[in-house]
């Protein structure tokens, strides 16, 4: 499976070791200064000592050969994609970079269908990903029920939603399940819609929750 991705390393990387890693779906948009601007957010949070130095892997869902966006297939409870990232991409990153290889130091972050994907990664591949970042999740009912019916997993979860024609119905249903199970959860609702204006303003929250400086 061919995939294009970009890797962010923090300032002074040469002198750092055992860096946590956040894997980001729709990475070409999260990394775009006109959309997610996540590179700027990471630089600022690390410089201001709001988070410890971390790496980020921005996974581009567009087919490198054709340019076709594969997110509709990849992010909808696709175990083959989850296994590809967990069993092929993660080891490649861990071999090439100075990462912390512990599952509780590895995050997956996504928005909309990517938020559904993050929850699916947490449920199916918690051996690799235990920090689950979710912006405006386009969940189906099945994954909410699956998490509700499964034993509590070793996950720490961040979830946000807007309240203007966004995914608040699905997010609130999932929050109720997570609260009942006793999951560590930070949950945010904002007076926004389903857009990068919403998500860009909240990129700092999962990063500060997962990777606090102190």
The pLDDT tens digits of the residues spanning 82-130 come to: 999 999 999 999 999 999 999 999 999 999 999 999 999 999 999 999 9
Whether the model clears a pTM of 0.85, i.e. scores above it, the answer is yes
Q: What is the predicted pLDDT for the residue at 39? A: 98
Q: Which of 104, 122, 169, 133 is nearest to 27 (CA)?
A: 133
Q: What is the predicted pLDDT for the residue at 165? A: 95
The pLDDT tens digits of the residues spanning 19-48 come to: 999 999 999 999 999 999 999 999 999 999
Q: What is the predicted pLDDT for the residue at 214? A: 77
Ramachandran angles phi, psi of 146, nearest 5°: -65, -45
User: Beta strands 185-190 and 131-137: pairing type?
Assistant: unpaired
pLDDT exceeds 80 at position 58: yes
How far is the C-alpha of 88 from the C-alpha of 11, rounded, in Å?
Answer: 27
Q: Which of 84, 146, 92 is nearest to 119 (CA)?
A: 146
Task: Please provide the average confidence, as pLDDT, over all residues in the chain.
Answer: 97
pLDDT exceeds 80 at position 183: yes
Give me the mean pLDDT over the 125-137 stretch.
98
Residues sharing a CB contact under 8 Å with residue 136, sequence separation 6 or more, in sequence order: 111, 112, 115, 160, 161, 162, 166, 167, 171, 194, 198, 199
Give me the mean pLDDT over the 156-163 stretch.
98
């Amino acid at each position: 499976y061919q995939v294009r991705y970009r890797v962010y390393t923090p300032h002074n990387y040469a002198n750092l070791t055992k860096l946590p890693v956040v894997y980001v779906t729709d990475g070409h948009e999260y990394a775009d200064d006109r959309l997610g601007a996540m590179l700027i957010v990471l630089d600022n949070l690390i410089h201001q000592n709001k988070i410890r130095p971390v790496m980020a892997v921005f996974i581009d869902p567009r087919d490198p050969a054709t340019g076709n966006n594969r997110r509709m297939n990849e992010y909808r409870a696709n175990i083959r994609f989850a296994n590809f990232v967990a069993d092929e991409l993660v080891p490649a990153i861990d071999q090439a970079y100075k990462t912390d290889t512990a599952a509780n130091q590895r995050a997956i972050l996504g928005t909309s269908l990517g938020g559904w994907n993050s929850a699916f990664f947490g449920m199916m591949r918690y051996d690799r990903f235990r920090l689950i970042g979710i912006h405006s999740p386009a969940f189906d009912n099945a994954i909410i029920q699956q998490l509700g019916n499964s034993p509590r997993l070793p996950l720490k979860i961040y979830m946000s939603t807007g309240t203007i024609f966004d995914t608040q119905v699905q997010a609130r249903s999932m929050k109720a399940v997570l609260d009942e199970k006793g999951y560590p959860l930070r949950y945010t609702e904002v007076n926004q819609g389903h857009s990068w204006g919403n998500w860009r303003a909240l990129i700092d929250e999962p990063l500060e929750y997962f990777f606090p400086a102190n």
